Structure 1
Amino acid sequence: MNFYTADPALARLIERNASAEDRALLTPLLERLGADTAQRIDPLAELADKNPPTLRPYDKDGERTNEVVYHPAYAEMGDILFGEYGMSAMSHRGMHGWAAKVPHLPKYLITYLYVQAEFGMACPISMTDTAARTLRMYGGDDPEIAEAVRRLISTDDDRFTGAMFMTELQAGTDIAKTEAVAEREGTGWRLHGRKWFASNAGADITLVLARFPGGDADTTRGVGLFMMPRRKPDGTLNDYRIERLKDKLGTRSMASGEIRLEGAYAVQVGELERGFRQMTEMVNMSRLSNAVRAVSLMRRGLYEATEHAQRRVVFGRPLIDQPLMRLDLLRLSADVESGLGFVVYCAQQLERADAGDDTASSLVRILTPLAKHYLCKRARVATGEAMEIRGGNGYIEVFVQPRLVRDAHLGSIWEGASNVIALDVLRSMRKIGAHKILFDDLRVRLDALADASLSEQRDALAARVNAISERAERVLSAATDDAEILMSSLADDMATAIMGVLLAEQAQYEIDQYDDHRVALVADAFRQLVLDRDENFAPKGISYVPQIVTGAAVDRAAVDLTN
């Protein structure tokens, strides 16, 4: 079993979107990771999920330890993902044949692959990666921060993991209500207060938000960013307590806890008044990672549903030959392939933004919340559909489906619930007109669709983009409360329009290169089932579901998409 070679869409997306140099390095890496994910990591993930971490607050002599005790399977996964593959380090250093950092597109595709087996560890991997990024951007020349970064991006036995402690009982979405405080002590700081939801609670390095003396008491400009190590410079345990671990619905392999800061030693990061703005660098990167993970969970669900439908015989026919089952698999395929195309698009724009492209920076500003808003919510439905396909067994914890469903529900909450994310889209529209840049980009892409078999889709997508563009302007001109009410549905419609265009674009590529209409059928199904919600006609792809889910080619003579 290999999750890379089993994926019908991934190889050609890479072929079209990655440079020849990146493909030469990425393809063998994904082939190896696809096998390891299925054969090594997946069994460990099942064990770790069934045996969640426990808290050992004190040792046998009564000394405080703040130790999170993990099952050996979790530790072994850490050695594979942090160590062998350097998942949290690849954004910062040369690895796997890349002389400098691994580009965003390969990194997110690697994430997409391994999360098909293990979602819980994706949190500490992402936070370690983004903590290093934030500290490198704002940490200046502080030697203690430099050493922390070195160990956060290490793949050796001295490696650190990272976390961020931001949420408080009264200050989740509303960071201005942060009550944790920082007090100066010489050249350093001491932190006091309570953090309510701290994932990767036993991290070695944590970025913490706290109020500082003299700061604005009513806004986020009074909240500074601080680096809090697990151990102080003298090697002793830092002055905070993990009070208890959360008993969570999903991501059970990873420890989330409640933290009491009791004068914890910390180092200032960047400018005090810009603490929250600096932390948003970490939050925004985590939001995009959430979208990638959502697609990954949907892909694993589709893989399991396909395997079951191919084997299971009902009333003398394999399930995959039953029309309604084909419709279910076709919709799941459209979800996964459109979502994968979306995160590839985001990764490309992020790479260009990091290189100084202002247009790409504006696109990233709106694409990141759009991807999280739609894909994380859709993953809850898609993994549930995949569970239902297996029937009663899909509800039993010996199979992977319950874990996929439990984990999928976190994405819409983590790093901002859906309403918060929808309002972030609205801010990007108001402040920088990001929606106009997005719609212009989509129109350029639609204009390049030349194959006759895609003309119906191109025209329908162009009309949809124009209609959503007009809606966006009406929302911007509406009263504040009305605009906010309208944003949830607008954000979803913007996201699905993007996905429809990208699917059609990939279909054009595969027609041009291979005369293969498989993705054209997926794009047509996405337009009919998701965009148009047309229930009067069965999608044309129904007859070709076995080819769609396995990646077999569909030639032009076999299907006429012009009627």
Structure 2
Amino acid sequence: MRVEDGFQPIAFPEENPYTSDLVLPSLLKRTIPRSAFNEIEPDLERLGADVITTIRAMGSGNRVAPPRLIQYDQWGRRVDELETSEGWRDLKAVGQKEGLPAIFYERKYQEHSRSYGFAKMMIIVGDSHEVFCPLSMTDGTARVIELIGSAEMKEKILPRLISRDPAVAFTSGQWMTERPGGSDVSQTETVATPTGKNNVLGPEYTLNGFKWFSSATDSHISVALARTGSVQDGSRGLSLFFVPLRLPLLRAPSEPLPPATSNNIFVHRLKNKIGTHTLPTAELSLDGSEAYLIGALNQGVKNISPVLNITRLWSSIASIGGLRKCLAIATAYAKVRTINGGTRLLQDSPLHVSQLAAISLVYRALTHLTFGVIRLLGKAECDVASPDELRRLRMLTPTAKAFAAEKACAGMEEAMTALGGAGYMEENGFGRAIRDSLVEKIWEGTTTVLALDLARAAQDPATLNSFLSWVKEVISSCPLDLRARLREPLDVLNDALSELAGSLKKPIAPLVPRPALILTGFVASSAFLLEHAIWAYVGRENDRETDVEVFQRWILEGGMVAAIEDVRRANLDGQTRATANSTIVFGGLSRAKL
């Protein structure tokens, strides 16, 4: 038989990622004022059309490829030239032209600008090949400069970080990770030495050290932590610095590009990663590199925190956007793939659709959770957040990032299996989406690191109470007839609240933080889903019954009951369990003597 004969599989249709989405349009309609939403939605519809036509094509074929490092030229001179692919550069330019991160600082829609910009990211991110990594750090750096940068930085650097013109726009990296510790910066070895000069951008220092992970090595600038105090001071002896990757940084457009080593920054090697292959991540040596102090001395960890908080939400959207694309592929495939001898579509198989519905539950919950936190960030940046909203933002930022990363990857794998063997093919994008999304479990803090961050935030009784009170207020706002229908899931939600209230108070048992973060993610996402269901129910929206069903299923079937039990188990005789864990992993005493 010739390949052209016999059964011919039908390719799934390419659908507009905004107009075909069953979650995002309704969420934005509820949370953004009507006048603003009426302006924003046509732009999102247009962007969705661009994704399936021009933007996706930019990342196809050989247009996007891993970066290449040329360390030495023909004559043995150190040049450290980093070559990136045409597709990578074009996709990054698309992000900038679309207003990322410009939208966040133009603030045309005030606190809703964050929701608008992140909605655009979510539509693109499944086809972005990780260009939002440098754009996320550019966003964070812009916020740091807006808050504590010198007047000259605000005048000369900030406009270029938030420019929509790729020809003049700067991107920024963020250099914290060193060999002695990943998320633990207390052992930072990079040393900053004052030169006694005042550069136009601020007090001048030289940096000497080694940065073990520098994502977006092709950026124009970076913010970096370096030691200005003693080693014994730990993280309290670190300051934050603005580092140009090439000197001079501020030059006329007609001037040639300075050499890559012009600021004594040397690329040791590019990282060989499981995923994010297009993203240039490197090990860097700083050998007397010129840098300028940002903010006060020895306040580096505090001063860089806006970068971490902002990039964690970018990370959360990256996780959800990857899941959105995988779910969209699986859903589209179900509409064209026939079974039972070609007499039935997959979409008509209850067993198959139940698998897709379970994935959709995860996507809906994660989207409402993350955009709920994004709204809090928007309010905070526009100085309209209440004290309780600021406390919830502090508690929910690490939660959203970790919870989205944990849940999205599993959902992507389920979506891949929904295509059977066709899902395992590299061409459809599942492989890259899963590989790239795995980094979100690590980048800007693993789940365990973020769980400890959540535990620290919850040690403030006002912070924990603001979260618990908010969830209770959402529950109390539920109409009586709807509350009667939702009695069982609301009982579970109240049970989870009681468990968190006791578990996150001092002293926290040693094994509690991680399961408590997962339970916090379940509780917060459920509260945001309930807010939406109440709005749809009261407003008699077309999808109101679906929104109510989603809330109910997420609590009863999504994993919250198991998460409650995990927290309870961690609270019971934690030391005994910790000892048993050690024996399970490393062996008992008899093993240790061998």
Deviates more, 1:420-429 or 1:505-514: 505-514
Please, which of 480, 494, 502 is the counterpart of residue 528 of structure 2?
502
Aligned residues, how many? 525
* Counterpart-to-counterpart distance in 2, 1:9 and 1:131: 31
State TM-score, norm by structure 1.
Answer: 0.88
Query: 2:194 maps to which residue?
Result: 184
* Counterpart-to-counterpart distance in 2, 1:204 and 1:57: 18
Query: 1:40 maps to which residue?
Result: 54
AA aligned to 1:89 is A
Query: 2:44 maps to which residue?
Result: 30
Deviates more, 1:461-470 or 1:311-320: 461-470
* Counterpart-to-counterpart distance in 2, 1:155 and 1:89: 6
* Counterpart-to-counterpart distance in 2, 1:404 and 1:204: 27
Please, which of 513, 526, 532 is the counterpart of residue 487 of structure 1?
513
Shift of 1:320: 1.9
Query: 1:104 maps to which residue?
Result: 114
* Counterpart-to-counterpart distance in 1, 2:445 and 2:560: 29
Please, which of 269, 282, 290 is the counterpart of residue 257 of structure 1?
282
Deviates more, 1:439-448 or 1:48-57: 48-57
Alignment of 1:405-484 (within 5 A): 405-450=434-479, 452-453=481-482, 455-457=484-486, 459-476=487-504, 479=507, 483-484=509-510
Q: Which consecutive residues of structure 2, in runs of 5 or more, have no partner in the other structure? A: 1-14, 198-203, 252-257, 563-594
* Counterpart-to-counterpart distance in 2, 1:41 and 1:423: 39
Shift of 1:48: 6.7
Query: 2:106 maps to which residue?
Result: 93
Shift of 1:479: 4.9
Identity of aligned residues (%): 26
Please, which of 210, 220, 240 is the counterpart of residue 225 of structure 1?
240
Cα distance, 1:475–1:396 mapped onto 2, change above 3 Å: same
Shift of 1:81: 1.4
* Counterpart-to-counterpart distance in 2, 1:99 and 1:453: 33
Contact 1:189–1:267 (CA under 8 A) maintained in structure 2: yes
Query: 2:574 maps to which residue?
Result: none
* Counterpart-to-counterpart distance in 1, 2:184 and 2:380: 28
* Counterpart-to-counterpart distance in 1, 2:531 and 2:193: 55
Deviations 1:405-453 (A, max 9, x none): 1112111101000000011111111035422211211111112221635
* Counterpart-to-counterpart distance in 2, 1:451 and 1:15: 25
Shift of 1:250: 1.6
Alignment of 1:109-128 (within 5 A): 109-128=119-138
Query: 1:544 maps to which residue?
Result: none
AA aligned to 1:474 is G
Cα distance, 1:152–1:62 mapped onto 2, change above 3 Å: farther
Please, which of 265, 272, 277 is the counterpart of residue 240 of structure 1?
265
Report which of the two structures shows the higher radius of gyration computed on alpha carbons.
2
AA aligned to 2:248 is P
Shift of 1:311: 1.3
Contact 1:291–1:375 (CA under 8 A) maintained in structure 2: yes
Contact 2:363–2:408 (CA under 8 A) maintained in structure 1: no
Equivalent residue of 2:457, what SS? helix
Equivalent residue of 1:273, what SS? coil
Deviates more, 1:514-523 or 1:436-445: 514-523
Deviations 1:321-379 (A, max 9, x none): 22221111111111111111112211222222231521111010011111112111111
Query: 1:271 maps to which residue?
Result: 296
AA aligned to 1:266 is A
Equivalent residue of 2:22, what SS? coil
AA aligned to 1:241 is F
Alignment of 1:507-526 (within 5 A): 507-511=533-537, 512-516=539-543, 517-526=545-554
Equivalent residue of 1:51, what SS? coil
Contact 2:225–2:300 (CA under 8 A) maintained in structure 1: yes
Cα distance, 1:421–1:113 mapped onto 2, change above 3 Å: same
Deviations 1:20-73 (A, max 9, x none): 232122101111111112222223234478611111234556554433211111
Contact 2:497–2:523 (CA under 8 A) maintained in structure 1: no
* Counterpart-to-counterpart distance in 2, 1:477 and 1:149: 41
* Counterpart-to-counterpart distance in 1, 2:347 and 2:367: 23
AA aligned to 1:290 is S
Contact 1:342–1:502 (CA under 8 A) maintained in structure 2: yes
Shift of 1:286: 0.7
Q: Which consecutive residues of structure 1, in runs of 5 or more, have no partner in the other structure? A: 535-563
Contact 2:489–2:552 (CA under 8 A) maintained in structure 1: no
Equivalent residue of 2:478, what SS? coil
Alignment of 1:2-401 (within 5 A): 2-47=16-61, 51-60=65-74, 62-82=76-96, 84-93=97-106, 98=108, 103-141=113-151, 143-144=152-153, 146-156=155-165, 157-187=167-197, 188-212=204-228, 214-215=229-230, 217-233=232-248, 236=258, 237-315=262-340, 316-354=343-381, 355-356=383-384, 357-401=386-430
Please, which of 423, 428, 433 is the counterpart of residue 404 of structure 1?
433
AA aligned to 2:531 is E
Shift of 1:524: 2.7
Contact 2:241–2:291 (CA under 8 A) maintained in structure 1: yes
* Counterpart-to-counterpart distance in 1, 2:349 and 2:355: 10
State TM-score, norm by structure 2.
Answer: 0.84
Contact 1:461–1:497 (CA under 8 A) maintained in structure 2: no
Deviations 1:470-499 (A, max 9, x none): 32343245655xx23112112111211222
Equivalent residue of 2:47, what SS? helix
Cα distance, 1:100–1:451 mapped onto 2, change above 3 Å: closer
* Counterpart-to-counterpart distance in 1, 2:178 and 2:20: 43
* Counterpart-to-counterpart distance in 1, 2:91 and 2:220: 18
* Counterpart-to-counterpart distance in 2, 1:337 and 1:88: 25
Equivalent residue of 1:272, what SS? coil
Query: 2:7 maps to which residue?
Result: none
Equivalent residue of 1:207, what SS? strand
Equivalent residue of 2:212, what SS? strand
* Counterpart-to-counterpart distance in 2, 1:307 and 1:49: 26
Contact 2:399–2:521 (CA under 8 A) maintained in structure 1: yes
Equivalent residue of 1:103, what SS? helix
* Counterpart-to-counterpart distance in 2, 1:432 and 1:225: 30
* Counterpart-to-counterpart distance in 2, 1:48 and 1:257: 22
Deviates more, 1:227-236 or 1:443-452: 227-236
* Counterpart-to-counterpart distance in 1, 2:362 and 2:483: 19
AA aligned to 2:484 is S
Equivalent residue of 1:218, what SS? helix
* Counterpart-to-counterpart distance in 2, 1:484 and 1:350: 30
Query: 1:527 maps to which residue?
Result: 555
